[in-house]
Amino acid sequence: MTWHLRTTLFFLLAISGPLMYGQSSFFNDFYVRAAYHPGYVMPEYSLFNYLVDDYARAFTISASKRTPGKNYWAQLYNYPEYGLAVQYATLGNTEVFGHEWSVFPYYNVHIAEIGKFSLLQQAGLGVGFTNKKYDQETNFYNVAVGTTMNVHFNFELNVQYQALKKFYAYTGIAFDHFSNGNLGEPNLGINSMTFNAGLRYRIGQESEQQHFDVEPYKASTRMSLVFSAGTKHARALQGKSYLVTALSFELKPKWWRVFYPGIGVDVFYDRATHDEQSVFGNEPYKTIDDFKTGFHFTQELVYNKFSVALQEGFYFILTDKAFGHSTYHRFIIRHQINKRLFAQLSMKAHVVVLDYLELGIGYHIKP
């Protein structure tokens, strides 16, 4: 028996043992999990690729609770789980990149359940801490991580099998992104793709799932205006922080209750452009270069007052003169404050390099 499996079994039994006695209904539908992740650090830049000399490995422990359904939204999503995970991971080079400890809340959606098999999709966002970061004198090869505390994004697609009454075996693939959101330099970040395998244990009983009569959905079209702002570094190792803002207009047909496709236009203002263009650009800087314009396609997944959205954007008219990027991406988490007003947290990236984090406020012109 490998040490990974021994550690997994010990964790599951140690955490569940004390809870066996005097169980309350709180521990119904409550799961603990342990998993091992071997895989690869994904290639990005030539210097970074040269420095990666080992496989990526991670070990995760987590706890989650599956909702039996307090409203029809849980029923629509097949009674999802909400949990908290702690992960230890190597980053491809112990001497240069070190290793990472991360903590992230996540949700788990049971996409399909057939007999004892389940297809699960997991997404999480939290913080990670590394023991190695860029230092001009002692660790100048670390072009990926410039700060000790970073953003950790996790996405997994797993298949689960109920081996025993309360034990579940599962396996799948996982993608993890680790960077500081350009709050410090450098910030290329580290991406890994891993195979994962582990065990889950249900502590309490399975609750009876609640069922609701869902009213027929009325299709409509939503128009929204969003203002967002954040700070970033210029990727020129100058230690300065710059203001970045964006104004966006979105048009989304609400044809389905849980999924809104859409299109939109964006105007970005980036004060770091001057320094970035002086180092990386091929054209002389002009004041208008601080502005960029683009259009995007949106896919938004809605759960009651919360939603997550992914945008794929294309610069046009006012383009990226510093790096020459033709596309951009945004991952967005939104909370509906009332019928018209909403708040959001978003991450703007160019392919796999996270450019900056934004906080935003939005208004539905037509809800």
Give DSSP secondary structure letters for 93-143: -TTTT-EEEEEEEEEEEEEEEETTEEEEEEEEEEEEEES---BTTTBTT--
Instruction: Tell me what pLDDT residue 239 has.
Output: 66
Paired strand residues for 157 = 121, 173
Convert the pLDDT of each residue in 290-334 to its tens digit.
999 999 999 999 999 999 999 999 999 999 999 999 999 999 999
Task: Give me the pLDDT at residue 113, please.
Answer: 94
> What is the pTM for the complete model shown?
0.84
User: How much is the pLDDT for 324?
Assistant: 92
pLDDT, residue 90, reads 94
* The pLDDT value given to residue 1: 47
pLDDT for 114: 94
Q: What is the pLDDT of residue 22?
A: 45
Residues in the chain where the model's pLDDT stays below 50? 1, 20-22
Going by C-alpha positions, the residue among 96, 115, 30, 103 that lies closest to residue 61 is 103
Q: Can you give the pLDDT at residue 111?
A: 94
What is the separation of C-alpha 188 from the centre of its chain, rounded to a whole number of angstroms?
Answer: 16
Tell me, what's the pLDDT at 18? 52
Helix (H) or strand (E) holding 274: helix 273-280
DSSP state of 19: G
pLDDT at 3: 53
| Helix, strand, coil distribution of the chain in percent, nearest 5 | 10, 55, 35
What's the longest Cα–Cα distance across the chain? 72
What pairing do the DSSP bridges indicate for beta strands 220-232 and 56-66? unpaired
Distance, in Å, from the CA atom of 54 to the CA atom of 97, rounded to the nearest integer, reads: 11
Q: Which tokens go with 224?
A: 């929204």
pLDDT value for 16: 53
